C-alpha cells in the first residue's frame, strides 16, 4: 500500500460536489474506486463533473485532476475505473492478490471517511481482519479495528471510504463498497479483486495505459506461534491446562495441531507446535476450538475423556472464543438451509421468531423472507445466542441455533427433515449437550409444527399510523399474520422508519408472499385488513401501488390484488360496548342490511335506526352527502356495525347506483371478493371508473393488539459513501 497513490474523489454538478469517496491510483492515469461514488443515486447517471485529488496530505502536496468515468463491469459490480486528465509520476507498480485458505488475514487501507472530518476530510488508516469464512463469497468481510460512532445526522460513520483499496500484505485484494448498518461501524464489505480483474474490458484499459496486471497471487497466513511465557494471558494458560488431559501423548498433540492448522487454511511448512502454540492457534481463528473439538470427539470412547472435552469446549465458549460450529459443521448446515430456503424462503424467519421469541434476532430474520446471501451471517449471529440451561442441571446450555434447526426440521418432510435432525444430533453430541435437552427441543418443535399445519393464516393485518412529525405522506407500518386459531405473528420491518404509500404497499406485498408460503396458502387470495385511526378511514389505501419488480409487470393497486378492507379498533377505547355490539351483530344480523336513503335523514336518525329496528344489522351501505359521510361512518362503527361500504367519490344520493355493480346487498360472505374484482377491473380500465369503494370490515373475535407504533429515524443507507 503506497500512500502517494491515495485518491479523494468528488462528483457533482456545476453547482458543487454532491458525492465524496476514496480511490487508489493503479496506473499513471487510472484510479480504481467504487461505482456508486461516481453516479447520482436518484437518476443512476454519472456525475457531469468528477475531480480527483492524488496523494496523502500528511506526506506532502497533493495534486488535483479532472476525471472521467472510463469503465464499469458489465455485471453491475460496484467498482469502476476513472481516467484523470494528467499522468501522475509515482514509482513502482501495484501488486494484486487473492486471500487463500480459511485463516483470517490482517488487512489495511486508506480512505476519507465522514467520521474523520475536522475542518476538511482527513485520512483514516483502515485496519482489521479479513475473514474468508464470513459472508456469502460475493464480498470480503472486513472486521474493523477503529469503529467510530455515527454522526449527529445519523449517517454512516464510514461514509466516504467507498472505493478505498484493501491490501493484505503488499497486495491489493479488493475495493470497499459498503458499511452494513447492523454492525455499528465495526464491519465493512469489499468487492474482491478477483471478481473484476479478469474482465476483458478492465484488462484492455490497463494495457492501453501501460500498467499490466500482475498475477493474483494467493495470500496465505503462517500458523501462529505462542508469545513468550511472561506475555501469555490468564485465558491462554487456562486453556492450556484444559488441553493437557486431552493429549497425554505429545506426538498426538503435534499431529492434531498440524492437521488443524492446515484445515483452517494456515501454512504448515516447518510447523512443529508446542502446547502453547496450539492454544495460540485456538485463539487466533474463530472456529479453531470447534474444529479441534470435532476431531477429538471421535476419540471420546470413555466418560472421563468425554468430560474433559466438554469442559474444554464449555470454557472456550465462556472465554468468548468464537462460534461453536466447526468449519465442516458450518458448511454442512449452510448447504441444508440453502436447499430449504430455495423452496420456502419464509420458513427460516418464521421459525426463528417462533422458536426464539425473546432473542435479539439478526435483522435478516426480522423480515418475511431471507435471501441466500444472508444465511451465513444469520447462522453466525445465532451461534452467539444461548437458549436455556442444560438438562440435567450443570450440563452445557443448549445453543439457540440448535433449537432453531429443530424447528425448521419439524416443518419440512422427508429427506430434508432426516438430514437436519442428523446434523443437529451429531453437533449436540460433539459439544456435550445432554440427550434429554435435545429431545425436549425436538418435542417443542414438533408441537409447533403441528399447530402451524392445523392453523392457517386467515388474514394479513397492516397497521398504519401517519407520521405527524415528518413532512409528506408517510406512515409507521407494522404487519401481522393472523391465524385461524386466533394467534398472530408480527413480521417486523427492517426498521420503523416512516414509509411512503409505495414503500408500505411493497412491504405488504412481501408479507403476502410469506403468507402464501404458509401451509394451505398457495392458492388463496389473501384477505388484508388495514388498521387505521379515525382520520385514516378516508385513506384510499386500496389504490396504493407497490414497486414493480421489473419492467415486465406494471405496478398494480394492492386493492386489486387482495381482498382489502379497513378496520378501526381505536373506537373500542371510546365506546365500551362496541365489542359486545359487534359480536351480537355478527351472530344475529349477517343477512340484514341498511342502505341509507333520503328517508334516513340526518346522523341522529341513522343512529336511532341502528338502536331500534336495525339493532342487530351487520351491514350498512352508506349513500348520501359527502360532507356528512364521516360522521355517519363513525356512528355506524360506534354502534358496532362490522361491515360498512361507501363510495368515497360520491357527492350525494344521486350517485347511489355507482355501487350497483358490487351488489352491495347480496350475499355478505362474497362482498370482499366482489369489491376486489371491481377494483381490479377499474385498475385495468381506468377510463371506465364508476366508483371508488371503501370497505370497513371489522373481523369477528378480538383483534390481536400489539404495542403502540413508535416512529424513529434509524441510521440511513448502506453504502459507505
Give the rounded distance of the alpha carbon of 289 from its chain centre. Answer: 29
Determine whether 136 is exposed, middle or buried from the number of CB atoms within 10 Å of its CB (0-12, 13-18, 19+). Answer: middle
- Grid cell 381505536 is found at 570
Residue 611 sits in the same domain as residue 489:
no
> For residues 38 and 74, is the Cβ–Cβ distance under 8 A?
no
Q: Report if residue 279 sits inside a domain.
A: yes
Q: Tell me: do 464 and 544 sit in the same domain.
A: yes
Same domain, 104 and 206: yes
pLDDT band at 407 (very low <50, low <70, confident <90, very high): very high
User: Where are the extended beta strands (E) located within 328-456?
Assistant: 386-388, 398-399
Question: Hey, CA dihedral for 281, 285, 286, 290, is it positive or negative?
Answer: negative
Q: What is the CATH number of the domain that holds 73?
A: 2.40.10.120
CB neighbour burial string for 545-574, b if at least 16 within 10 angstroms, e if fewer: bbeeeeeeeeebbbbbbbbbbbbbbebbee
pLDDT-wise least confident of 109-118, 173-182, 254-263: 109-118
Residues 340, 302, single domain; the answer is no
Residues 197 and 50 grouped into a single domain:
yes
3-class DSSP state of 451: helix
56 and 15 together in one domain: yes
447 and 521 assigned to the same domain = no
Q: Is 64 exposed, middle or buried (0-12, 13-18, 19+ CB in 10 A)?
A: middle
Please identify, among 566, 601, 626, the residue that sits at the C-terminal boundary of a domain: 566
In percent, the amount of the chain with pLDDT more than 90 equals 30
Claim to verify: residue 391 and residue 449 sit in the same structural domain: yes
pLDDT bucket at 721, cuts 50 / 70 / 90: very low
Rounded to the nearest 10 degrees, how much is the dihedral formed by the CA atoms of 194, 195, 197, 198? 100
Domain assignment present for 488: yes
| Domain-located, residue 705 | no
Residues 552 and 579 in one domain: no
The verdict on residue 704 lying in a domain is no
pLDDT higher than threshold 80 for residue 161: yes
- Looking at mean pLDDT, say which of 131-145, 373-387, 644-658 comes out highest: 644-658
Determine the structural domain holding residue 661 and report its residue range.
Answer: 572-697
Residues 366 and 390 in one domain: yes
Q: Does residue 155 fall inside a structural domain?
A: yes
pLDDT in tens, 238-249: 888 877 888 878
718 pLDDT exceeds 50?
no
- The pTM of this model reads 0.52
- Among 300, 318, 336, the domain boundary falls at 318
More confident residue, 215 or 406: 406
- The last residue of a domain, from among 422, 454, 486: 454
Q: How does pLDDT run across 200-236, given as a tens digit for each residue?
A: 889 999 988 888 787 888 887 778 888 887 888 887 8
For residue 702, tell me if it sits in a domain. no
Signed CA dihedral, 82, 83, 86, 89: sign only: positive
- Whether 421 is covered by a domain: the verdict is yes
Give domain status of residue 32, yes or no: yes
Is 179 found in the same domain as 30?
Answer: yes
Residues 78, 186, single domain; the answer is: yes
Q: What is the mean pLDDT of residues 623-632?
A: 90
- Structural domain count, the chain: 5
Amino acid at each position: 500500500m503506497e500512500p502517494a497513490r491515495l485518491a479523494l474523489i468528488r462528483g457533482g454538478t456545476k453547482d458543487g460536489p454532491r458525492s465524496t469517496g476514496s480511490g487508489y491510483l493503479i496506473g499513471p492515469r487510472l484510479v480504481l474506486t467504487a461505482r456508486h461514488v461516481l453516479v447520482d443515486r436518484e437518476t443512476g447517471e454519472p456525475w457531469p463533473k468528477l475531480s480527483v485529488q492524488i496523494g496523502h496530505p500528511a506526506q506532502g502536496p497533493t495534486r488535483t485532476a479532472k476525471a472521467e468515468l472510463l469503465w464499469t463491469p458489465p455485471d453491475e459490480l460496484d467498482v469502476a475505473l476513472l481516467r484523470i486528465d494528467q499522468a501522475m509520476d509515482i514509482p513502482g507498480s501495484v501488486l494484486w492478490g487473492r486471500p487463500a485458505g480459511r485463516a483470517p488475514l490482517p488487512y489495511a487501507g486508506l480512505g476519507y471517511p465522514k467520521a474523520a472530518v475536522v475542518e476538511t476530510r482527513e485520512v483514516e488508516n483502515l485496519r482489521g481482519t479479513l475473514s474468508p469464512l464470513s459472508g456469502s463469497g460475493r464480498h470480503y468481510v472486513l472486521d474493523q479495528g477503529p469503529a467510530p460512532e455515527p454522526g449527529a445526522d445519523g449517517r454512516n460513520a464510514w461514509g466516504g471510504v467507498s472505493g478505498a483499496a484493501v491490501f493484505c500484505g503488499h497486495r491489493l485484494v479488493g475495493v470497499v463498497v459498503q458499511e452494513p448498518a447492523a454492525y455499528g461501524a465495526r464491519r465493512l464489505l469489499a468487492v474482491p479483486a478477483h471478481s473484476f480483474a479478469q474482465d476483458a474490458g478492465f484488462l484492455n484499459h490497463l494495457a492501453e495505459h501501460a500498467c499490466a496486471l500482475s498475477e493474483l497471487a494467493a495470500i496465505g497466513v503462517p500458523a501462529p506461534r505462542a508469545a513468550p511465557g511472561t506475555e501469555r494471558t490468564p485465558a491462554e494458560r487456562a486453556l492450556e491446562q484444559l488441553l493437557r488431559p486431552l493429549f497425554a501423548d505429545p506426538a498426538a498433540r503435534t499431529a492434531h495441531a498440524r492437521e488443524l492448522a492446515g484445515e483452517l487454511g494456515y501454512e504448515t511448512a516447518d510447523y512443529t507446535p508446542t502446547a502453547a502454540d496450539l492454544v495460540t492457534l485456538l485463539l487466533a481463528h474463530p472456529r479453531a476450538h470447534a474444529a479441534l473439538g470435532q476431531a477429538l470427539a471421535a476419540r471420546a470412547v470413555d466418560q472421563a475423556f468425554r468430560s474433559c472435552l466438554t469442559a474444554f469446549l464449555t470454557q472456550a465458549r465462556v472465554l468468548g472464543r468464537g462460534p461453536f460450529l466447526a468449519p465442516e459443521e458450518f458448511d454442512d448446515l449452510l448447504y441444508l438451509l440453502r436447499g430449504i430456503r430455495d423452496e420456502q424462503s419464509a420458513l427460516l424467519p418464521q421459525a426463528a421468531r417462533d422458536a426464539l421469541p425473546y432473542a435479539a434476532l439478526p435483522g435478516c430474520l426480522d423480515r418475511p423472507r431471507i435471501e441466500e446471501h444472508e444465511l451465513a451471517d444469520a447462522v453466525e449471529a445465532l451461534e452467539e445466542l444461548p437458549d436455556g440451561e442444560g438438562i440435567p442441571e450443570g450440563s452445557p446450555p443448549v445453543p439457540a441455533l440448535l433449537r432453531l434447526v429443530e424447528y425448521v426440521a419439524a416443518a419440512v418432510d422427508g429427506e430434508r427433515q432426516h438430514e437436519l435432525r442428523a446434523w443437529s444430533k451429531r453437533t449436540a453430541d460433539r459439544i456435550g449437550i445432554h440427550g434429554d435437552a435435545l429431545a425436549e427441543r425436538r418435542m417443542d418443535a414438533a408441537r409447533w409444527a403441528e399447530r402451524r399445519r392445523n392453523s392457517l393464516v386467515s388474514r394479513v393485518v397492516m397497521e398504519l399510523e401517519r407520521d405527524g412529525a415528518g413532512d409528506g405522506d408517510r406512515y409507521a407500518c407494522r404487519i401481522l399474520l393472523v391465524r385461524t386459531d386466533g394467534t398472530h405473528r408480527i413480521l417486523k420491518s427492517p426498521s420503523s422508519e416512516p414509509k411512503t404509500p409505495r414503500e408500505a404497499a411493497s412491504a405488504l406485498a412481501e408479507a403476502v408472499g410469506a403468507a402464501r408460503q404458509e401451509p394451505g396458502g398457495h392458492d388463496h387470495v389473501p384477505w388484508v385488513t388495514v388498521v387505521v385511526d379515525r382520520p385514516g378511514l378516508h385513506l384510499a389505501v386500496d389504490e396504493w401501488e407497490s414497486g414493480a419488480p421489473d419492467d415486465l409487470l406494471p405496478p398494480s393497486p394492492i386493492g386489486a390484488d387482495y381482498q382489502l378492507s379497513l378496520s378501526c379498533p381505536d373506537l373500542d377505547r371510546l365506546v365500551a360496548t362496541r365489542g359486545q355490539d359487534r359480536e351480537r351483530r355478527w351472530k344475529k344480523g349477517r343477512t340484514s342490511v341498511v342502505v341509507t336513503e333520503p328517508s334516513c335523514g340526518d346522523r341522529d336518525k341513522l343512529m336511532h335506526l341502528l338502536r331500534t329496528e336495525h339493532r342487530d344489522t351487520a351491514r350498512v351501505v352508506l349513500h348520501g352527502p359527502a360532507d356528512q359521510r364521516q360522521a355517519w361512518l363513525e356512528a355506524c362503527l360506534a354502534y358496532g356495525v362490522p361491515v360498512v361500504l361507501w363510495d368515497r367519490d360520491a357527492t350525494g344520493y344521486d350517485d347511489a347506483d355507482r355501487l350497483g355493480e358490487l351488489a352491495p346487498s347480496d350475499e355478505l360472505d362474497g362482498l370482499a371478493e366482489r369489491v376486489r374484482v371491481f377494483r381490479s377491473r377499474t385498475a385495468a380500465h381506468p377510463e371506465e371508473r364508476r366508483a371508488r369503494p371503501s370497505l370497513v370490515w371489522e373481523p369477528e373475535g378480538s383483534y390481536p393488539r400489539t404495542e403502540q407504533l413508535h416512529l424513529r429515524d434509524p441510521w440511513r443507507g448502506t453504502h459507505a459513501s
